[in-house]
């Protein structure tokens, strides 16, 4: 490539910098793109897409590698990880975020102004990938999905044109980008709304895994009583014997209840009281907390890891569904699952904002089940079956899935996550902006 892209932006498999340039968070397979373009400016992206179009090459995009959707082999990978500038405007309560920025960078820039983004459970996740896929986190029941916060999207499309897309400029592409996940181009920036949230009442409570039957049955009824500014999830965790964990959690089977509430600590404690009464905790870490500490709620892993994940949204969580999940992930079950997590959805997620058009999948779902098994010896071979088994257990209540919670198990079925009308709309927008399928060659969309 002899374009205006500046060295060392081009990285080939034989280059010493290749491993770091492709290194994903999810390390299940080693990504092997033919070429990496480490974009340091939108102009680099324009040049890379233009070259790939002339050469007839497939293009993939990676920011942090938190979502292993497909093999990158044979593609030109445009890495946006260096496009990580974040600018906050406290007057308009918005942030302009680079195409490879992580939530932790947005939080660091927003918190001094008493503002917070609608991020997910882990601030290590990339902003753009999260918002393109919908995006559900601790503030979503109060303020909507991540995609609902998006105001403007500068993007380089397959024709090599940099477009500034919003509700009035190329509105179909704008609607597709808010939830349509992939296949439209390389997002170089995203303008998102922030919210005046400086603190909350929240955290996690670790209960013994043996108490999971009582806890899950109580939880499914309790969440129905919560206001929209309260969010909860519950996870059955089989923790590793990791010496960095507190001793009672090392190698333990636990039930991890997560809770966030935007009202006062006293109101939050009153809301949480019925769950605190179900069992004796190993550790109760729910308290008044600054928004900057939001990662403590889920305590997601931050080191790269090989995993196999599977998931489904649920329309309801009756007692039979809880029993079915416990039968494959509860006490006494021999499983390689490290996590089976139920997230309560609804609230503002269920309400389509603004002009009433977007591509957020699963708005009407009440819950999301996310199952995760490690791809490490000796259990790697059974990881896919373990994760699929958890999803199959609740299949009678499944309504679909959230694009962000799909891994390689989704295969070419990603397109099935949207209702027929939205899927047809997304296909039409992809056909308009990427008729040759430059961004579609990753085998995701069936
Ligand atoms: C530990 C962990 C916690 C998570 N928690 C949540 C959660 O609470 N809620 C939730 O909704 N999701 C969650 N996710 C899923 C996460 O939102 C998705 O994995 C998301 O795609 C990650 O984006 P990324 O840029 O970090 O990852 P990447 O793997 O770099 O990107 C994933 C995909 O996003 C697209 N993409 C990313 N950047 C761009 C860009 N600049 N232009 C065009 N396309 C782009 C590409 O299709 C790419 O293949 C979590 C994932 C992990 C591993």
Strand partners, 202: 260, 287
| pLDDT computed for residue 446 by the predictor | 47
Closest ligand 1 atom, residue 120 Cα: 8
On whether the pTM is more than 0.75, the answer is: yes
Mean of the per-residue pLDDT values of the chain:
94
Nearest CA-CA partner of 118 in 147, 92, 87: 147
- Contact, 397 vs 316, CB < 8 A? yes
Instruction: Give the separation between CA 76 and CA 158, rounded to whole angstroms.
Output: 13
- Contact, 163 vs 187, CB < 8 A? no
User: Parallel, antiparallel, or unpaired for β 35-38 and 76-79?
Assistant: parallel
185: left (phi over 0), alpha (psi -120 to 50) or beta: left
**Tens of pLDDT along 70-107?**
678 889 999 999 999 999 999 999 999 999 999 999 99
**Tens of pLDDT along 142-172?**
999 999 999 999 999 999 999 999 999 999 9
- Contact, 410 vs 418, CB < 8 A? no
**86-196: CATH, from 3.40.50.920, 3.30.465.10, 2.30.40.10, 2.60.40.10:** 3.30.465.10
Domain ranges of the chain: 10-79, 86-196, 199-412
Specify whether domain 10-79 bears CATH 3.30.43.10: yes
DSSP label at 304?
-
Torsion of CA 361, 362, 367, 369, to 10 degrees: -50
Residue 6 has pLDDT above 70, yes or no: no
**199-412: CATH, from 2.102.10.10, 3.40.462.20, 3.40.47.10, 3.60.10.10:** 3.40.462.20
Ligand 1: which of 129, 176, 231 to mutate, most ligand atoms within 8 Å of CB?
129
- Contact, 206 vs 255, CB < 8 A? yes
Ligand 1: lining residues by beta carbon, under 6 Å = 25, 61-67, 69, 80, 99, 120-122, 125-126, 128-130, 132-133, 135-137, 182, 186-187, 300, 404
């Amino acid at each position: 490539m002899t374009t205006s892209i500046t060295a060392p932006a081009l990285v080939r498999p034989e280059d010493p910098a290749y491993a770091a340039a492709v290194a994903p968070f999810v390390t299940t397979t080693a990504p092997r793109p033919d070429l990496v373009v480490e974009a340091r400016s939108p102009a680099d992206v324009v040049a890379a897409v233009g070259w790939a179009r002339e050469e007839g090459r497939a293009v993939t995009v990676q920011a942090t590698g938190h979502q292993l959707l497909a093999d990158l082999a044979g593609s030109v990978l445009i890495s946006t990880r260096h496009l990580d500038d974040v600018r906050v405007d406290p007057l308009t309560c918005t942030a302009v975020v680079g195409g490879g920025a992580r939530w932790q960078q947005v939080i660091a820039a927003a918190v001094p102004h008493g503002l917070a983004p609608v991020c997910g459970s882990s601030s290590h996740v990339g902003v753009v990938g999260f918002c393109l896929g919908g995006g559900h986190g601790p503030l979503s029941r109060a303020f909507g999905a991540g995609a609902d916060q998006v105001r403007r999207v500068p993007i380089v499309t397959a024709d090599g044109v940099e477009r500034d897309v919003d509700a009035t400029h190329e509105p179909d592409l704008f609607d597709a980008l808010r939830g349509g996940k992939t296949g439209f181009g390389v997002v170089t920036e995203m303008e998102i709304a922030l919210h005046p949230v400086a603190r909350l009442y929240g955290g996690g409570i670790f209960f013994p895994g043996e108490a999971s039957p009582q806890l899950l049955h109580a939880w499914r009824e309790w969440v129905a009583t919560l206001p929209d500014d309260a969010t909860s999830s519950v996870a059955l965790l089989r923790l590793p014997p990791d010496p960095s964990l507190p001793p009672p959690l090392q190698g333990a089977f636990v039930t991890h209840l997560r809770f966030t509430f935007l009202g006062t600590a006293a109101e939050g404690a009153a809301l949480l009281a019925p769950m605190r009464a179900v069992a004796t905790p190993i550790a109760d870490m729910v308290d008044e907390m600054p928004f900057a500490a939001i990662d403590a709620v889920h305590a997601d892993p931050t080191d790269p890891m090989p995993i196999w994940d599977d998931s489904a949204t649920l329309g309801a969580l009756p007692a039979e569904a809880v029993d079915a999940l416990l039968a494959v992930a509860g006490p006494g079950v021999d499983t390689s699952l490290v996590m089976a997590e139920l997230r309560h959805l609804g609230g503002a997620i269920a309400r389509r904002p603004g002009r009433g058009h977007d591509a957020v999948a699963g708005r009407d779902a009440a819950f999301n089940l996310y199952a995760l098994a490690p791809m490490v010896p000796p259990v790697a071979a059974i990881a896919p079956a373990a994760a699929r088994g958890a999803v199959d257990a609740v299949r009678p209540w499944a309504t679909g899935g959230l694009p962000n919670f799909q891994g390689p198990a989704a295969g070419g079925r990603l397109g099935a996550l949207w209702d027929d009308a939205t899927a047809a709309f997304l296909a039409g927008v992809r056909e308009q902006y990427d008729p040759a399928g430059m961004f579609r060659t990753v085998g995701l969309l069936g």
